[in-house]
Structure 1
Amino acid sequence: MAGSTRPWQLGAVALCALAGMGGVHLLARLPQPAHWSGLALLGVLLLVMGLARRGSPGVRWLLLCLAAAALAASWAGLRAQARWAQQLPPAWEGRDLWVTGRIDSLPQSQLGQGGAAGWRFVLAVEAIADPEGAVLPAGLPQRLMLSVYAQPGQQALPTWRPGERWRLLLRLRQVHGSMNPAGFDYELWLFEQGIRATGLLRRWQLLAEAQGPDGALDRWRLGLRERLQTQLGPQPATGVLIALSLGEQAAISRSDWALFRDTGTSHLMAISGLHVTMFAWGAGLLAGWAWRRSGRLCLAVPAPVLARWAGVLAALAYALFSGWGVPAQRTVWMLFVLALLRQSGLAWPWPLCLLLSALWVALIDPWALCQAGFWLSFAAVGLLMAGGVAEPGWRGLLRGAWRNQCIATLGLAPLTLLFFQQLSLVGLLANLLAIPWISLLVTPLALVGALMPPLWSLAAWLLQGLMLWLELLARLPGAVWSVPVAPLWAQLSGLLGAALLVLPLPWRLRPAGLALMLPLLWPALPRPAPGQFELLAADVGQGTAVLLRTRHHALLYDTGPQYHPQADAGQRVLLPLLRALGQRELDLLLLSHRDQDHVGGAASLMAGLPVRGLLSSLEPTHPLLQAPGAPRDGQQRCERGQRWRWDGVDFELLHPSPADYEHPGLKPNALSCVLLVSAADGRRALLTGDVEAAQEGGLQPPGGIDLLMLPHHGSQTSSSPALLAAARPRLAFVQAGYRNRFGHPAPAVLARYQAAGVPVIQSADCGALYWSSAAPAQAHCERELRRRYWHRSAPVHAAAELGPLPQGAEEPALR
């Protein structure tokens, strides 16, 4: 059988195995463990039948493909089941627990709200106890992501070091991340690392200093970080060198990340699979070139063999140096398997070798299939292998590097658009210098600096020169091209078109490649019909941000909170969301009032997206009115009675009145801009900001509101019976953070809506909420649309618990 095996047959089996594992990751919920055991038995039966079959090779290989899919799916399912079982029961969330464990990562400094200094690290759990002596359930998480911040009157924060054993008083909660269209999946990221709960430290006691092999690598990396910071001091290059050498991406400032993203070089600044791949490729290329200088050495070991294994060793050393993170691990395995297959002498085509190495990586880490880095890494290696071997001599080396750079840039462009909805049009020029500059100069100097610290200064000087070049490119008109998320068929068409463009195929096929890429580059964007509007309540945590769109206009009501001085909802949530939707500008930004959970993301938003008009209740001296990007001629104050019409949809402000601004002692909440939106057919939505009961009585909204925002995030000070009686809402939603410290929405307020028969959708359980005036009885939750088995289980719609709807109202359906 082995002698008659053809490469495409092995490739088909590997593809079926990858498809089997990928199918598991599409499940919204995992079946019982017995199902996976049964699937494994079926796979074994199919394997035996395939191996024993004589004649009819097509049937035999079909059986082997089905066996591979079943066995791989059962393997991934059992791994997922074991990891999923380690979860914190909801009943134990928010309770103080004593946990004994060992610090299992490099502690990272971070800032909390208000700029409070803090730390974050992973704890490997050894024991958990309840202070009140209650019996804890079995199967609790074995790895925790913990945070601690300096607080007045609290213990002084110690210097946390990897490998130390601590006894900690923790308040744990299940893993929860925001859920927005095309947004980062925080829950998957932690699930892949085996982290099944997060927590805040309240008290701590050191049990044992770090010693022995546990955490030794991370302790060495911690000392290296401290020496590098001492050597270079506080400058932008320091953070980038820490990220390049130690994998600590948080060390790079927000402005520098924006520069790298806009020039298409961000992949070089993170220890991603693509970065490790390019570093290994550069190291192998350099080692092969140097080896060819000696004919005697080439006779002993051929230069291609030496270059191949030098690249693998360079990737391994770099991965260990940077902390042996999950992306680096799978890249090392990929390169090792590729090198081993080539070394074995098997005359297999390179696509088959690449496919088998992908299967090996996925068997080790089944969740790699869900990560952009996996696909970018293998695509980069495939493109480099398709580019062929460089010609002899330094001229051939330069021509080969240029050819490979062009192939990689063009070939990875569709994947970059798929994963990030953004493409740097200056990326080819930027990477032409940045890839060899970073991979062959800066990164090696940063690594060797561990032995010779003065080299860090040279690396910083080289890095500063590169950043000047990148800043020059970023200033060019049209440097960045953003595209909205395309439908699945357009994505597949774009990938096929890119393959036709970069593979060594006849030139007459290239125009077909361009045509196939058009649906990905310019997808058709659905918009509401004239006279209708759609509402998207973003999942920003404890804060408000609602996007309203008509046929040709867009309004953003508030911009969410500032999470800490270096991150806010505008940067993390709203700008990626708007780009994914194809929204290139805002006709109006409405800031309801000055509280940080409503305007915290405004500065980042206005700096990153054109805003034509600004409507707010902010005082004239507020810094946001003069912030970069704020419209100078389109600023107005919210006042009751203001009206305008867009595309047949009416907008009207119900609060505040001009007289409200004359009361200097009035709280910001009392000045919240309240917006009523009415479709041509009379369907209405009411956005209320943080108004409280005293202001609700004067709103006088029309009855029969189809969608109501709970005022003040569901606080007890709002949602008065008078408001519910006047508005008579059919459906309500509240934007509040998961298990937030304010207790929003208040149980008494939810009970009030329940008594009125109004279903309430909570953003913590729903994620981003979609609603359209064209289908007012339907609301769609992003958490349900994208639900996978690793996501936190939560009740998305509590209509059954909230009681019957008012007579004559339609039952909202959430999907």
Structure 2
Amino acid sequence: MMPSLLAWVLGSAGQLWQPILFDIHKYMAISAVSGVLIAYSAIKYIAIKNTWIKRFPPLHVSILSMALAGMAFGVTGWRASVYSAQALPAELEGKDIQVIGIVAAMPQQSEVGLRFRFAVEQAEIETAVKLPKLIELSWYSGAYRTEANTSVATSAATTMPVPQFELQGKPQTIKPGERWQMTVRLKAIHGNSNPHGFDYELYQWEQGVQATGYVRATANDVPPKKIGDTWKYSIERLRAKVRDAVFERLSFSNSAGATSNNAGVTSNNAGVVAALVTGDQRAIDRADWDIFRATGVAHLMSISGLHITLFAWVAAGVVAWLWRRKSWSSTLCLYFPAPSAGLVGGVLLATAYAAFSGWGVPAQRTILMLVTVSLLKLSGHRWPWYVVWTMACAIVVVVDPWALLQAGFWLSFVAVAVLFATDKQKLATDSQKAVQVESVETFHQAIQHSLQRAQGERHWVFKKLQTLAEKSGALLREQWVITLALTPLTMMLFGQVSVVGLLANLLAIPWVTLVVTPLSLLGAFFAPVWDVAAWSMQVLSVVLTSLSKLPFATFSVAAAPFYLSVLGILGGLLLVLPMAQNRKWQWKLGALGLSLLLPVLLWQAPRPESGQFELLAADIGQGNAVVIRTQNHSLLYDAGPRYSVESDAGHRVLVPLLRAMGERLDMVMLSHRDSDHAGGIKSVLASHPAAQFVSSVESSNELQNIKPDTRCEAGQKWQWDGVDFAVLHPTGKDYNTPQKPNALSCVLRISNKGVSATTDKNGKGSSVLLTADIEQSQELRLLADALDLPESLQSTVLLVPHHGSKTSSSTPFLDAVKPDFGIVQAGYRNRFKHPVPEVMTRYQDRQIRVIDSPHCGAVMWSSSKPKEMRCHRAENQRYWHHQMPELEPNH
């Protein structure tokens, strides 16, 4: 059985590595051939079973395993092909589409409006069109900026874009299960693609969402209209009602959003209570999530597999107790034993609990595991733990192959396997010790009985204390084993581990499981109990906050190569899974495990050689964020945009990226104060407090409160590890006259002069010119300053000014810089339409290769290979990623 189960898992995993899907007919053929081989193996097994041969021959086991792997590969690819065929057609992106459908999930309120999932029933433009079954929509409120397509003169040398705004109607109150008619604009699912970054496109693939967009509600659009109510998504409606009730009860103020989709709520742990009751993780503030992650208790703060499993355990005990009651029926236990009844009842009640929590992917996996384990137990056979574990894993993969790509899947299954295995070893060891000390117990038996008699009535007190001590010791041991075993896996998945996690979990697991969660659930029946739940959570929050502020609270290292990470995971398992009872072998296995684990803990990412440097232009949407690395130093140029009040490019992209790269920034240069460049600066500086801060931000700007800065001025120069850095703009005089932010953009040039390994055909070294949002007037200034030394502007790589806006990249400037590559950091289908076609034509006419982040993802370049530009999206392509056509000048 084990080879067959593992074969299915491996076959599914193999299909997930495909960069592009085969034609669906190939998957059908693979499935058909595999089915024939499985049938052949089944016939052979039946024939052999009826003979004196008791074991299935190895050849047939191999055939069956390969057939199951092929079947898993074919079926998974088949399912992926069918699902991909339902994606949004490219020709419908950006079009106004009339849709009728049902609100399919709890709406999420933010400072800019509503966000919700919508199950499409009908769609048309002029005639009917086919849309994905499930889309995600935003309904903005107030003035919504669309595009800056005109300009007015502000001086003889500069022009100021005039933003275009559309006044959106205030979002109406919507509820799950309601049928609505509205006008929407859609686009394909497209997320940022960065090394070690979150795969947003995979996440939406797992959720079944195949397009995102927004509701058109301006004066020129047909107003959104509620058509009626439906019985569908009734559980979601109930969840929304309970969530809003939590926030209404626990809010400090009855603001407009406090009772509607939790908008603008400032509450005392209301988000945690709402998450524990309804499974809505978005209800928890980002600051709270940061504390939970730093202390390693994030898994407790929403309905997770742990909560559902414990709920099933308690429910099974209650059902079994009720089943045994004679007042119900003394004959029930004869037909169906109480333990079995409890098992079935516990799983059913846990399924209902998981459905109320939103039936998310982790909840579905947990229910599948519980059902599998329960069925195996009800079969009447005693199964080895590893068979039960592998069967549960295989069943989950059969239903959801893409679970193999989720961190929660591996953390859950590895933790369960470790607990199973270590408990078994403990029992074996305890049994052996019991035999060895039998004679000693006999020798001291009389004394022991005498002591017990002397204790008299107090004996039960000591017994209870002893039991409590044993259980406490077992809990401590299990938490230590789990922490040690999961450390390398956690580092592989997240790049850091919580040093205080062991202590935090010892306090938080019983407190949240036995106090906060039950009180939160009881509040659904009697609202005042939520006050007690919030207070109990506040008590824990004080402790967790103190632990998270410790300087050693977390430990992070650079992301090691995959093979080293796998060996590190094996090393962690060897440390906690002694495979021999002989103490000598235990020490040897421990030493082997430590030797496999240390390379992961001590890994240092490769750095450029002396005189060389590397560039990484992160994929952060509409904005700039560029990392420059030399042999011993690193610099971040701009920090990307702010996405919302609680989310920015620094927190979401740059801090995890720099952590995975093992970087400690020496300098952060903020080119200017526009939000698409400065949105993530606070998060970056908080994570790298020792970094020097250089900017062009005026002294009165609030950004100056983050950290005292050094003003960037033309003429500033320094050298790191044989690499030269020079600020070319702005001059000191530019700060003395009123300027718009773009005109004060810090322009930085990085070069390694004439290093022999990277010299071009003219004998010059490689260089990069970072220009931020300068416009044509600043480009002319740079040309004038470089009249005496034209080479000071020439660069191998140019960060395209102002994201490819028509106000920049003038012909004289491009002729002077003469770049081989141009990098455009812009958002997918951004409202400014950057880079604009006329600018692209200028680059193409000069045979300058332009790479933009929507097509390329993160852009990587090295001075040691100046003619090679690498794209993270191409190097890590998977079939669920958005496939875009090549960038054309007239795009």
TM-score (norm 1): 0.90
SS at match of 2:196: coil
Distance in 2 (CA, whole Å) between partners of 1:671 and 1:550 is: 27
Structure 1 pair 236–707 and aligned structure 2 pair: CA distance change class (3 A): farther
Corresponding residue for 1:603?
A: 682
Q: How many Å separate the matches in 1 of 2:376 and 2:315?
A: 17
Pairing 1:759-798 to 2, within 5 Å after superposition = 759-795=849-885
- Does 2:272 correspond to 1:257? no
Q: Establish whether residue 161 from structure 1 lines up as the match of residue 175 from structure 2.
A: yes
Provide Cα deviations, 1:431-463, integer angstroms capped at 9, x if missing partner.
011111112221121112111212211111110
Q: How does 1:276-295 map to 2 (within 5 A)?
A: 276-277=308-309, 279-280=310-311, 283=314
Distance in 2 (CA, whole Å) between partners of 1:13 and 1:505 is 25
SS of the residue corresponding to residue 490 of structure 1 reads helix
Mapped to 2, the partners of 1:420 and 1:304 lie a distance apart of 40
What letter matches 1:453 in structure 2? A
- DSSP-derived class of the 2:367 partner: helix
Question: Any conservation in 2 of the 1:589–1:611 contact (CA below 8 Å)?
Answer: no
How big is the shift at 1:395? 4.4
Corresponding residue for residue 5 of structure 1: none
Query: Is 1:173 the equivalent of 2:247?
Result: no
Q: 2:508 aligned with 1:434, yes or no?
A: yes
- Give 1:322 shift: 1.0
Equivalent residue, structure 1, for 2:777: 694
Matched, 1:720 2:711: no
Contact 1:30 1:789 in 2 (8 A): yes
Give 1:792's aligned amino acid.
Answer: H
1:221 equivalent to 2:239? Answer yes
Alignment of 1:414-563 (within 5 A): 414-506=488-580, 507-508=586-587, 509-563=589-643
Contact 1:587–1:612 (Cα < 8 Å) also in 2: yes
Task: Show structure 2 runs of 5+ residues with no match.
Answer: 144-166, 218-222, 252-265, 428-463, 581-585, 756-764
Mapped partners of 2:486, 2:339: distance in 1: 25
Q: Does 1:752 align with 2:826?
A: no
Paired position in structure 1 for 2:92: 92
Structure 2 match to 1:684:
767
Instruction: Map Cα deviations across residues 602-628 of structure 1 (whole Å, 9 max, x no partner).
Output: 01111122333111111122222221x
Give the deviation of 1:321 after TM superposition. Answer: 2.2
Q: What is the root-mean-square deviation in Å for CA atoms of aligned residues?
A: 2.6
What is the Cα deviation at residue 791 of structure 1?
A: 0.5
Secondary structure of the structure 2 residue equivalent to 1:698: helix
Say whether the 8 Å CA contact 2:279–2:358 is kept in structure 1.
yes
**Aligned position for 2:408:** 373
Q: 2:212 aligns with which of 168, 191, 198?
A: 198
Q: Tell me the SS of whatever aligns to 2:224.
A: strand
Deviation track 1:552-586 (CA, whole Å, cap 9, x = no partner) reads: 00000000011122111111111010001111x21
Cα deviation for residue 405 of structure 1 reads: 2.0
Secondary structure of the structure 2 residue equivalent to 1:94: coil
Which of residues 338, 355, 362 in structure 2 aligns to 1:320?
A: 355
Q: Partners of 1:433 and 1:783 in 2: how far apart?
A: 42
Q: 2:137 is aligned with what amino acid?
A: L
Residues 50 and 476 of structure 1, relative CA distance in 2, 3 Å threshold? same
Question: Equivalent residue of 2:715, what SS?
Answer: coil
1:167–1:207 Cα contact (<8 Å) kept: yes
Q: Distance in 2 between matches of 1:797 and 1:231?
A: 52
Structure 1 gaps, min length 5: 1-9, 803-815
Larger Rg: 2
Deviates more, 1:235-244 or 1:706-715: 235-244
**Alpha-carbon displacement from aligned partner over 1:160-184 (angstroms, at most 9, x marks no partner):** 1000001110000001111111111
**Pair 1:762–1:385, CA change in 2 (3 A):** same
Q: Deviations over 1:327-357 (max 9, x none)?
A: 2111111121112212323232111111111
Q: Is the 8 A contact 1:282 1:440 kept in 2?
A: no
* CA contact 1:273–1:374 (8 Å) conserved in 2: no
- Distance change >3 Å, CA 291–CA 437, structure 1 → 2: farther
Q: How far apart, CA to CA, are the structure 2 residues paired with 1:380 and 1:309? A: 24
Write out per-residue CA displacement over residues 302-344 of structure 1, whole angstroms, 9 at most, x where no aligned residue: 8976876676456424312211112211111112111221232
TM-aligned CA deviation for residue 473 of structure 1: 1.4
Alignment partner of 2:202 out of 188, 193, 200: 188
Range moving further from structure 2, 199-208 or 60-69: 199-208
Separation in structure 2 between the aligned mates of residue 734 and residue 603 of structure 1, nearest angstrom: 24
| Counterparts in 2 of 1:309 and 1:134: CA distance versus 1, 3 Å | closer
Match of 2:227 among 208, 211, 215: 208
Could you tell me which residue of structure 2 aligns to residue 102 of structure 1? 102
User: Which residue does 1:67 correspond to in 2?
Assistant: 67
Q: 1:642 — aligned with what?
A: 716
CA offset at residue 134 of structure 1? 4.7
1:16 equivalent among 7, 30, 33: 7
- Contact kept, 8 Å, 1:267 with 1:275, in 2: the verdict is no
* Paired residue type of 1:251: A
Alpha-carbon spacing, 1:293–1:588, altered in 2? closer, same or farther (3 Å): farther
Amino acid paired to 1:694: S
| Amino acid across the alignment from 2:28 | S
Q: Secondary structure at the match of 2:142?
A: coil
Shift of the 385–711 alpha-carbon distance from structure 1 to 2, 3 Å rule, reads same
Deviation at 1:12, TM superposition (A): 1.2
CA contact (8 A) 1:225 1:242 kept: yes
Seq. identity, %? 44
- Conserved 8 A contact 2:418-2:573: no
TM-score normalised to the size of structure 2? 0.83
Change (3 A) 1:350 1:744: same
Aligned residue in 1 for 2:124: 129
Q: 1:275 to 1:489 in 2, by over 3 A?
A: farther
- What secondary structure is seen at the aligned counterpart in 2 of 1:209? strand
Q: Is the 8 A contact 1:560 1:601 kept in 2?
A: yes
CA contact (8 A) 2:250 2:268 kept: no
| Aligned match for 2:391, one of 333, 356, 365 | 356
Report the Cα offset of residue 698 of structure 1. Answer: 2.1
Which region of structure 1 is more displaced relative to structure 2, 201-210 or 772-781?
201-210
Question: Could you tell me how far apart the structure 2 residues matched to 1:411 and 1:97 are?
Answer: 52
Hey, what does 2:18 align to over in structure 1? 27
8 Å CA contact 2:3–2:65 kept in 1: the answer is yes
> 1:384 touches 1:404 (CA, 8 Å); kept in 2?
yes
Query: Could you tell me which amino acid in structure 1 is paired with residue 681 of structure 2?
Result: A
Cα separation, 1, equivalents of 2:245 and 2:525: 11
Give the residue type in structure 2 aligned to 1:261: R
The 2-side partners of 1:645 and 1:780 are apart by: 26
Aligned length: 773
Shift of 1:369: 1.3
